[in-house]
Structure 1
Amino acid sequence: MKAFIGIDVGKEKLDISWLRDLVKSKKKTKIFKNNPKGYQELVAWLIKNTNLEAQDIVITTEPTGVYSEPLMYFLYEQGFILLHVNPGKAKQYASSLGLVHKTDKSDATMLARYGHDQQHSLLSWQPEPVEARELKVMTRRLEALEQDLRREVNRYEAVGFSGASTRVTQSIEDMIAVLKTEMGKLKNDIDEHIDRHPQLKKNRQLLQSIKGVGEVISRMMVSLMACKQFKNAKQLACYLGLIPKLNESGKRAGKTTLSKEGPGYIRAKLYMAAVVAVQHNPDIKAQNKRLVEQGKTKMQAIGAAMRKLTHICFGVVKNQTEYQPQAI
């Protein structure tokens, strides 16, 4: 016998839903604080109310980055069965159930039902190795610094038109210099961290054997694939929001675009890599030529190139072999 729990994770609270009886739609809900004390109270509540051991309790959540990770690590250490649901898949599932009124409590119940219905098709969540976790934290920090730099550069461009004081201009210049210096140091630390761990280092070398994949994409892909369990290339592309999606409205003919779910900052970098790959990667160049001849727009062809590049990245890491172009 198993109990199915759904947890909607927020910044400050955890909404819990326990499916007591799916047939009769009976459930029990509770709210705990999203902090270490709340985690302890959550575990005690689950054990007491379900009258089961941790290994017989299935908990389903959606990934919410820094807000959900401490909870997941804690629950894993306690022995619970953990399922992580792709937000896009969860949204589709909710729509199939006709769930219109969206609240934190209803989301938790939906996740519990999703875990019950899909338990055999979902991989149990496990924490990434320590070296992968550290790499993830550093790459997140680098992305935050890059965002700060973009904002400061935009401000610098704006002051040129607004006639801001010399002091303000100097302040922005100083901040840009500091951010660039720190980014350079952090990139070196990330590269040294990868080089210290043989598997991470090998994966990066394999990725850089792909024409169109350089320092930036290889760094991001090494981190992503070390931290996430992707069963196949399509799952990776779906996570990155690179799956085609048809948009239609009324009598107006729809057009196909990327789903754009998942981390946008990785897609932005993949876009630039795809532009390069279209010129220099034989497989992607051939695909791009074929799609353009079929009448696809330039952006549709680039989207396909991004997806193709992602598939190639997955393939070389999965098979642990260097990239070998298939196009003649």
Structure 2
Amino acid sequence: MRKRLSAQIAARRKQQVPADLKGMDASLMAMLDAQIGDLEQRIKGVIEQEAASAAKARLLLSIPGIGPVSAAMLIAEMPELGRMTSGEAAAMTGLAPIPHDSGAMRGKRAIAGGRRALRHVLFQAALAAASHNPVLKPVAQALKIHGKPHKLVIVAIARRLVTIANAILKTGIPWQPQPDS
């Protein structure tokens, strides 16, 4: 529902609105924004009602780059997170590289499968983490310096984010930035 409302807002912002309809368009945008805010509050309330989900949310929100939307999606779409290996977590989100090999031919690796909606949310979280997470920001910068394409950088950061989230839920210890070495 939230995704649909956000898509409607994005589509409306791209359209040219005649001057005489600007007032109606502004009220429609305000109504959609209010509905999204209401949905986010309801989701937050549902998560807070259950102690296990609330504890998971607090742990996930301690990770720089993971916000309320990505935390809620991880809790809802991947309830097994924290009870699997990092490779399994990456594969379930569709962030694990799949080889396209046949016989002696070695093809390009690409991501595929997994839980698509979660992967899209993790891409957005990866964009934030690449700028604000003290551990992942240097990784993103190093990949860019080595000439890697932007999408590859975001996929790599998203994969590391889900790996970190899995480890944090497994240990039950909130995010702690590593001391500089």
The TM-score range, normalised by the shorter chain, is 0.7 to 0.9
The superposition leaves residues 214-237 of structure 1 with CA deviations (integer Å, 9 ceiling, x where unpaired) of 222122212223377963232222
Contact 1:195 1:201 in 2 (8 A): yes
* Corresponding residue of 1:298: 150
2: distance between equivalents of 1:327 and 1:303? 25
Change in Cα spacing, 1:171 to 1:273, as seen in structure 2 (3 Å) is same
* One of 143, 154, 171 as aligned partner of 1:319: 171
* Corresponding residue of 2:69: 216
Contact 1:292 1:301 in 2 (8 A): yes
* One of 123, 126, 147 as aligned partner of 1:274: 126
* Corresponding residue of 1:22: none
* Corresponding residue of 1:232: 85
Q: Which amino acid aligns with 2:116?
A: G
Contact 1:283 1:327 in 2 (8 A): no
Map 1:184-223 to 2 at 5 A.
Answer: 184-223=37-76
Change in Cα spacing, 1:210 to 1:297, as seen in structure 2 (3 Å) is same
Q: Which of the two has greater helix per residue?
A: 2
* Corresponding residue of 2:6: 149
SS of equivalent residue, structure 1 residue 216 = helix
1:255 to partner: Cα distance: 4.0
1:242 to partner: Cα distance: 0.7
Structure 1 residues not aligned, in runs of 5+: 1-143
Change in Cα spacing, 1:146 to 1:176, as seen in structure 2 (3 Å) is farther
1:202 to partner: Cα distance: 1.0
2: distance between equivalents of 1:228 and 1:276? 21
How many percent identity over aligned positions? 25
Contact 1:286 1:327 in 2 (8 A): no
Greater relative CO, 1 or 2 (CA 8 Å, sep 6+)? 2
SS of equivalent residue, structure 2 residue 98 = strand
Contact 1:230 1:236 in 2 (8 A): no
Q: Which of the two has greater strand per residue?
A: 1
* Corresponding residue of 1:137: none
Normalising by the residue count of structure 2, what TM-score does the alignment of the two structures yield?
A: 0.78
Normalising by the residue count of structure 1, what TM-score does the alignment of the two structures yield?
A: 0.46
* Corresponding residue of 2:139: 287
1:319 to partner: Cα distance: 1.7
The superposition leaves residues 54-77 of structure 1 with CA deviations (integer Å, 9 ceiling, x where unpaired) of xxxxxxxxxxxxxxxxxxxxxxxx
Across the aligned residues of Structure 1 and Structure 2, the Cα RMSD in angstroms comes to 3.2
